[in-house]
Chains A and B, each alone.
Chain A
Amino acid sequence: MTTLLHNARLIDPELGTDAPGSLLIAQGRILARLAGQQDTTAILAAHGLAAADVTLVDCNGKCLAPGIVDIGVKVCEPGERHKESYKSAGLAAAAGGVTTIVTRPDTTPCIDSPETLEFVTRRAQADAPVNVLPMAALTKGRAGREMTEIRFLMDAGAVAFTDCDHVVTDTKVFSRALTYAKSCGALVMAHPQDPGLSAGAAATSGKFAALRGLPSVSPMAERMGLDRDIALLEMTGAKYHADQITTARALPALERAKANGLDITAGTSIHHLTLNELDVADYRTFFKVKPPLRSEEDRLAVVEALRDGVIDVISSMHTPQDEESKRLPFEEAAAGAVALETLLPAAMRLYHAELLDLPTLFRALSLNPAKRLGLASGRLAEGAPADLVLFDPDVPFVLDRFALQSKSKNTPFDTQRMQGRVLATYVAGRPVFAQRKA
């Protein structure tokens, strides 16, 4: 099957361009990329194609970008399928323009053996319409004591290793795991945070937390965690990705580590890019995430770091929680927010605020995460997989959390005005989502 997506505004993060063009896709790949507005018959003729063999899709001048590669999605299988299954997460991803989800191993039980990983992979293949790449735990039971079977897990499909929000506190264990991972060529993702300083915290220390009387953590805890990890990277030379850098104080260390040639990249979450601590207001638990939302100064510093390429990746940090775990006093409530479907509209806030342009956004949403995981996707280049998202960056709507595909509805963007909507999502050239006509 051959498809021609024509009359599009191509957002190319690799070339850094935002210009009219068309894409010809066949056999799941991008066959040709054509600049400018060309006549469809001319394009077909040039490629020796008959009109009957080609599906024509008129993009009406809307944006066509490489599909989002989302590192750090929590699907609650095994253990808590009522919160999110591979089916619901897959539908949510497709509706959000996410063509590859890179799943977290912090399930119950956690994914720390090839056997559980195989179960997960099987479930994902059966149910999810998008690409699913699993991550596995770095230590058994995410307990920070013994490393997992990294080689076997890689053979079973693990693309990275992480204990998620559990920091491996024992530096000896962590340095050995990094050393061993390096010998396998494995990517280790960590949560930079000083666990002592952040113990029990539900907010970032500052005027807001002081007023609300919430146990809080100094933003310095993130820098301390990152400093420690960087020292261990100097020691081991491992391949490392920081899951979320959310504070200004952590950025110079990250920049220095990169300049010193360490194999380090960093992500941040869409919530830390678009919300700040004041959004918690009267203890709204849908705004409780981990690490906690930061000050406005931190948010702007992180946006700037993303623009300058100091931070590489934007993740949804999709964390489904049911109503019961959120309808509790703030301190007791579970952390996390669903975000697969709100990732792109929320990211458009940065575009409309003129903080980031679209190619820069898609560099962090699609290209960089794909590169870091060694994937061919995340690009609009000829030969790349036809994982694509067609979206209208301008269309306004009010978010209704009950309209989300995710089984859990814990989004901080509920009832908020958003701008930018996914029109269609393609995985390997196959349409997996199309916005219903309003």
Chain B
Amino acid sequence: MQPPSFDQRHLLGIEPLHPHEITAILDLAETYVALNRQTEKHSDALAGLTQVNMFFENSTRTQASFELAGKRLGADVMNMAMQASSIKKGETLIDTAMTLNAMHPDLLVVRHPHSGAVDLLAQKVHCAVLNAGDGRHEHPTQALLDALTIRRAKGRLHRLNIAICGDIAHSRVARSNLILLGKMENRIRLIGPPTLVPQQFAEFGAEIYDDMREGLKDVDVVMMLRLQKERMDGGFIPSEREYFYRYGLDADKLALAKPDAIVMHPGPMNRGVEIDGTIADDIKRSVIQEQVEMGVAVRMAAMDLLARNLRRARQAEAR
């Protein structure tokens, strides 16, 4: 087995990562979990570097998490709310990249409503790019923070039965998780109404269930997804209440999973639509709060590793 090392210029998705690179990020993130729990939370891993958060799509949680991660590591962090500015004025993504290059950022965190847009931007800028979610494609830091949460709760990140439930079709979180958990050799079940679960995912080795009770039997981890109402063209499900009846996580359905199964949700939750409020708040089962905590640590680790590679590459260039 290769020792954990991380050899990437960008973090555009989970797909290009090797399992040992995933482990490298998670191992480093563990140290940042410890740091974040101290009163003095500062490190200077990113001191002198400029981090730009560009969000072409609304986000509070992810953006705050990246901002905090950057600040704790000593970077100069700037937030650009792109949905409000230049694209409204007709600037193309490439022009935005050119403008950015002139500002010499070192780390660029991007969220965009279209799949592949972050890849496109990464081809044109001179800094390390982190994908904070592109369309329905990938959301790598979410999958990494989920992985860290699972590893801490279960003591391992392999040979687990993991159910991902809900709106798989429109979810980049589901894609990144499916790829990551697959790479780490887990059994993955996708649960949801067939209108929201593309059958092609069976080709990635996932088992597909449209009966949630069947699908939850003996799983170690239950990952719920947000029912992304804003992504719906309309007509994927008959109503929210019927959805909750068939696919909402309640105590009854959860009882079919292993007794020590954990419940996860990337947030923000729709209580009473995909998850019963009491389950979300049950500290014995729900690790939803922990996921948020791991989010900051994982993002610190990812940016730290990318910054190391960036510094190394620039030194090599200067020589």
Contact = CB atoms under 8 A, between A and B. Distances in A.
The CB with the most chain B CB atoms within 10 A, among A206, A283, A327, A331, is that of A283
A213 B115 contact: yes
Contacts of B204: 207, 210-211
Interface residues of A, number: 20
Interface in B222-242: 233
A211 B13 CA distance: 11
Contact of B136 (A207, A213, A332): A213
B272 interface: no
B207 interface: no
A282 B200 CA distance: 19
A63 B282 CA distance: 78
B266 to A, nearest CB: 16
Contacts, number: 64
A283 B94 CA distance: 15
Interface in B184-230: 198, 200-201, 203-204
A330 B15 contact: no
Interface in A207-247: 207, 209-215
Contacts of A283: 115-116, 119-120
Q: What DSSP secondary structure best describes chain A's contact surface?
A: loop
B172 interface: yes
A331 B115 contact: yes
Contact of B200 (A200, A205, A324): A205
B119 A211 contact: no
Contacts of A332: 114
A206 B15 CA distance: 17
A210 B198 CA distance: 7
Contacts of A211: 15, 175, 204
A207 B114 CA distance: 18
B117 interface: yes
A207 B201 CA distance: 7
Interface string B104-122: 0000000010111101100
Interface string B150-188: 000000000000000000000010010000000000000
Interface in A86-145: none
B135 interface: yes
Contacts of B269: none
Given A207-B203, A213-B138, A283-B120, A330 B115 contact: yes
Contacts of A210: 198, 200-201, 203-204
A413 to B, nearest CB: 20
A205 B15 CA distance: 19
A174 B279 CA distance: 56
B92 interface: yes
A79 interface: no
Interface residues of B, number: 24
Interface in A295-350: 324, 327-332
A430 B136 CA distance: 54
A330 B200 contact: no
Contact of A329 (B120, B175, B201, B233): B120
B35 interface: no
B15 A329 contact: no
A5 B114 CA distance: 55
A330 B93 CA distance: 12
Contacts of A324: 92
Nearest to A330: B116
Interface in B64-107: 92-94
Given A210-B198, A210-B200, A329 B94 contact: no
Nearest to A283: B116
B137 interface: yes
A191 B201 CA distance: 30
Given A210-B204, A283-B115, A328-B93, 11 more contacts: A207-B203, A209-B200, A213-B116, A213-B135, A213-B137, A213-B172, A283-B116, A283-B119, A330-B116, A331-B115, A331-B135
The 8 closest A-B pairs by CB, nearest first: A283-B116, A213-B137, A213-B136, A329-B114, A329-B117, A213-B115, A210-B200, A330-B116
21 contacts: A200-B233, A205-B198, A206-B200, A207-B200, A207-B203, A210-B198, A210-B200, A211-B204, A212-B115, A213-B116, A213-B134, A213-B137, A283-B115, A327-B92, A327-B120, A328-B92, A329-B112, A329-B117, A330-B115, A331-B116, A332-B114
Interface of A: 200, 205-207, 209-215, 282-283, 324, 327-332
